Amino acid sequence: MNTETPASAAGTGTVLDGIIAGVREDLQARRAEVPLAELRARVADVPLALDGLAALRGGRDDAAGVRIISEVKRSSPSKGSLAEIPDPAELARAYQAGGASAVSVLTERRRFAGSLADLDAVRAAVDLPVLRKDFMVDEYQFLEARAHGADLVLLIVAALDDTRLRDFLALTHELGMEALVEAHTEEEISRAVDVGARIVGVNVRNLKTLDVDVAHYGTMARHLPDDVVRIAESGVDGPDVVADYASRGADAVLVGEALVRDGDPAAALGRFRAASRS
């Protein structure tokens, strides 16, 4: 499999382009420490992945409210430091207690202050599906994700051409995982659906400019087919936004900043889910 992503796929001179350049540098250092053959052997020894698709499906029609993917997120390119999170496992357990359907863990180091160690800690702490949230541009990262216990990975349509998007989705499924395929435009949604994505997210934060428009989910949601799991990503600053996403057909909502900055994330989760039922 050719895993090189051309600069044109990520956009020239964008924030996303710069992030991916750093991801590639860090990836080479990890590859030098753990060869691909060793990583494959580790994958063979981990338990089977949990069913992330089932965990996120059906939030629109469930009396319990929309599903929430709760995120372990220390920092972001747009906001800088969000929370120290000295114990990701403790935070993940609070998420599970509050009714999260899955936990997302940022593993990108330079802009999000994440790590695979955070992924390990969360995986050991909860029995929910865990999403490795990173900028996936190489086969090695998918094997890493599974070796560290991830059940889902993130595929960003804007960062991949159609061949790599299709190949990486196939590799994800071969490894027993599911992919949250993230789009921002109607054209990107179409590309995600065309390659067979089963979980499609609409990110209301444009990763090329970092601008946020929460109304963008409603504009894009009409282009999502009924047979995919629909995820609303970003922009949540309170229960009203979660309720709006749910009213526009989201099965699940990914929430990071609003939870890591809340002194009681379990209670915040309860408020978010309750708002989506009203």
**Range list of β-strands (E), the chain:** 67-72, 75-76, 80-81, 102-106, 130-133, 152-156, 178-183, 199-203, 229-233, 252-255
Catalytic residue among 144, 178, 188, 233: 233
Q: Tell me the pLDDT tens digit for each residue of 71-106.
A: 999 998 888 899 999 999 999 999 999 999 999 999
Which residue among 76, 101, 203, 206 is the active-site one? 203
Is residue 104 part of the annotated active site? The answer reads: no
Is 133 in the active site? Answer: yes
Q: What is the pTM of this model?
A: 0.92
182 is catalytic: yes
Active-site residue identified among 108, 182, 188, 257: 182
- pLDDT, tens digit, for every residue of 44-80? 999 999 999 999 997 555 677 899 999 999 998 888 8
Q: Which among 73, 76, 144, 276 is annotated as catalytic?
A: 73
Q: Is residue 83 within a helix (H) or strand (E), and if so which, with residue range?
A: none
